[in-house]
Amino acid sequence: MANRSITDVQDILYEVSLYLNPDHYTYQEEIACARKTLLHSALACRNFARPALDVLWNCLPSEKPLLELLWTLGIVLEVETEVSASGPIYTYPYRGDPRAHPRWKRFQEYSMQVRSITLDPHIPREGFIWEILVTRLRGDPLLPALRKVTLSRESSFYRDGGASVPPFGNDKTRGALWLISPSVHQLSVSLPEPGFHVRRPAVQKIVELACSMAPDLHHLRVRTLWPINLGFLHGHKRLHAVTIYTVTNTVALEPLTTLPRLEDLSLAVGGTFPLRLAFQRVRFLALRGSWSRLNLFIDETDLPQLRSFSALVIQRNHEAQVWYQICASCFQTLSIKHTRLTTLDVKCRNNVMSVGHIGLAHTAGRKRIGFQRMDH
């Protein structure tokens, strides 16, 4: 039997390609490099084509690859229009169910690979083609295996060098949000970026609409320039991890206390705390803000199941004595209220103190706190 090359073993090639999954990287430069490497691998070797393309389609940087695939297969046509910041406009020239198209199954071979996608909700005009296709699928999702969606302006960078585009605000279309499937478990919203003007009601509408299209959400991350009303989260009973970057007071957080499975909570706190909140199941808490705000939140919030606390302190420079008093007050509150805390991690703007496995126990009527310092 002739000797086989390592490139003949598809299982190995799949494992190698998985290391280049763009979803495993954080920085845009690394993501772009991973995608470029996967593409070159698919073009350079026939045996690499299928594993590399499967991973490449697993994580899409925008809806653009889907649009171009539909156009390449002749399922949609490009409309001749004047050059605009929002790029080419597509239309569906047929009547009836798109699944009747002879090349629709070819499109499904790729669309069923998509697990993660970044969408730009600021461009409603492209949404018309998604609205047409999704509604004619009669309830079947366009991306049936989709698990993670990121909403941000990043996906519009390819359009005319990242020129500004009209903000979301057309009630007649959901734009790229039509691509969100009920199978989505993780939603990340980052709107808008500094320097990009979007009206506050439009941002609220985007977040509400996106969440309504993903009823089975497990993880939610919202980063906005303004605080938003979280009342729409009442129906998301399976949410167990929530990150909110803009919180002005406890009234805004009250809807989160109704989530029965919420265990992981991350907040950027500010403003006032007129209500005393209770998170019955939260085990992991991460806060960002000034020492005074963090201390007030810990003191005014009931967290009976808390096991891990981390804080990123944003504070003006003070003398050492002032820092000592503020820190001591915060740690004293933690030691009194949360005797079963096992992990504490505090990071400050100018210094880092990381503490792991903090043990709290009662000794002769007093609480003993043991710190295991990890120097960096």
In a domain, 122, yes or no: yes
- Does 176 lie in the same domain as 140? yes
Structure confidence at residue 209 (pLDDT): 92
Structure confidence at residue 123 (pLDDT): 56
Could you write out the DSSP letters of every residue in 2-22?
PPPPGGG-HHHHHHHHHTT-G
| Lookup result for tokens 């698919």 | 42
- Does 6 lie in the same domain as 71? no
Structure confidence at residue 309 (pLDDT): 94
In a domain, 339, yes or no: no
Phi, psi of 43, deg, nearest 5: -80, -25
- Does 243 lie in the same domain as 151? yes
Q: Which two tokens stand for residue 274?
A: 């007129």
Structure confidence at residue 16 (pLDDT): 75
- Does 87 lie in the same domain as 33? no
Question: Mean pLDDT for each 10-residue chunk of the chain (376 residues)?
Answer: 61 74 78 81 79 85 92 88 64 90 94 92 66 90 95 54 39 76 95 63 88 95 88 92 84 90 92 80 93 85 94 72 75 88 83 41 36 38
In a domain, 366, yes or no: no
Q: How far apart are CA 312 and CA 228, in angstroms?
A: 22
Among residues 333, 281, 341, 286, which one has the least CA distance to residue 305? 281
- Does 144 lie in the same domain as 219? yes
Structure confidence at residue 7 (pLDDT): 60
- Does 40 lie in the same domain as 176? no
Neighbours of 88 (CB within 10 A): 16
In a domain, 23, yes or no: yes
- Does 140 lie in the same domain as 21? no
Structure confidence at residue 182 (pLDDT): 95
| Lookup result for tokens 């490139």 | 7
In a domain, 270, yes or no: yes
In a domain, 43, yes or no: yes
In a domain, 358, yes or no: no
Contact 281, 261 (CB under 8 A): yes
> Where does a domain end: 24, 42, 57?
57
Expressed as residue numbers, the domain containing 181 is 58-324
- Does 178 lie in the same domain as 51? no
Contact 287, 312 (CB under 8 A): yes
In a domain, 373, yes or no: no
Number of domains observed in the structure of the chain:
2
Structure confidence at residue 283 (pLDDT): 96
The pairing of strands 89-91 and 77-79 is antiparallel
